Amino acid sequence: MELGILYKMLACLFDLDGVIVDTAKYHFLAWKRLASAWNFDLTEEQNEHLKGVSRTESLEIILKLAHHTLSKEAFEEALQIKNEWFLDFVNEMNENEILEGVTDFLHLLKQNKIVFSLASSSKNAKNILQKIGLFEQFDAIVDGNDIINSKPDPEIFEKAAKKLNTDTKKCIVFEDAVAGVEAGKRAGMKVIGIGDKEVLKEADIVVKNLKELTIKDLENLLSK
Ligand code: B16
Ligand code: MG
Per residue in 14-54, pLDDT tens?
999 999 999 999 999 999 999 999 999 999 999 988 998 99
Confirm or reject: Cβ of 47 under 6 Å from ligand 1. no
Higher pLDDT, 223 or 9: 223
Phi-psi region of 217 (alpha: psi -120 to 50; beta: other; left: phi over 0): alpha
The pLDDT of residue 115: 97
The pLDDT of residue 224: 81
Homologous superfamily (CATH) of 5-22+95-222 is HAD superfamily/HAD-like (3.40.50.1000)
The Cα 185–Cα 219 span in angstroms is 18
Confirm or reject: Cβ of 163 under 6 Å from ligand 1. no
Q: Where are the domains of the chain?
A: 5-22+95-222, 24-90
Q: Which residues pair with 98 in a beta bridge?
A: 21
Confirm or reject: Cβ of 16 under 6 Å from ligand 1. yes
What per-residue string of b and e applies to 9-39 under the rule 16 or more CB within 10 Å gives b? Answer: ebbbbbbbbbbbbebbebbbbbbbebbeeee
The Cα 123–Cα 112 span in angstroms is 30
- Does residue 1 have a pLDDT over 80? no
Q: Is the dihedral of CA 18, 197, 192, 201 positive or negative?
A: negative
Half-sphere exposure of 183 (CA within 13 A, CB side): 30
CA-wise closest residue to 109 among 1, 215, 2, 182: 215
Residue nearest to atom 12 of ligand 1 (CA): 122
| Chain mean pLDDT for the chain | 95
113 CA to middle of ligand 1, Å? 28
Ligand 1 atom index nearest CA of 18: 18
Ligand 1 atom index nearest CA of 177: 18
Q: Can 15 be counted among the known catalytic residues?
A: yes
The Cα 63–Cα 65 span in angstroms is 5
- Does residue 80 have a pLDDT over 50? yes
CB 100 within 8 A of CB 33: no
Coil, strand or helix at 171: strand
Confidence label for 9 from pLDDT (cuts 50, 70 and 90)? confident
Give residue-wise pLDDT tens across range 193-207.
999 999 999 999 999
Q: Which ligand is nearest to the CA of 18?
A: 2
Could you tell me the fold of the domain covering 24-90? DNA polymerase; domain 1 (1.10.150)
Q: Is the dihedral of CA 90, 122, 173, 57 positive or negative?
A: positive
Residue nearest to atom 8 of ligand 1 (CA): 51
Give residue-wise pLDDT tens across range 120-162.
999 999 999 999 999 999 999 999 999 999 999 999 999 999 9
Q: Which ligand is nearest to the CA of 16?
A: 1
Q: Can 217 be counted among the known catalytic residues?
A: no
Confidence label for 8 from pLDDT (cuts 50, 70 and 90)? low
- Does residue 6 have a pLDDT over 50? no
Residue nearest to atom 15 of ligand 1 (CA): 55
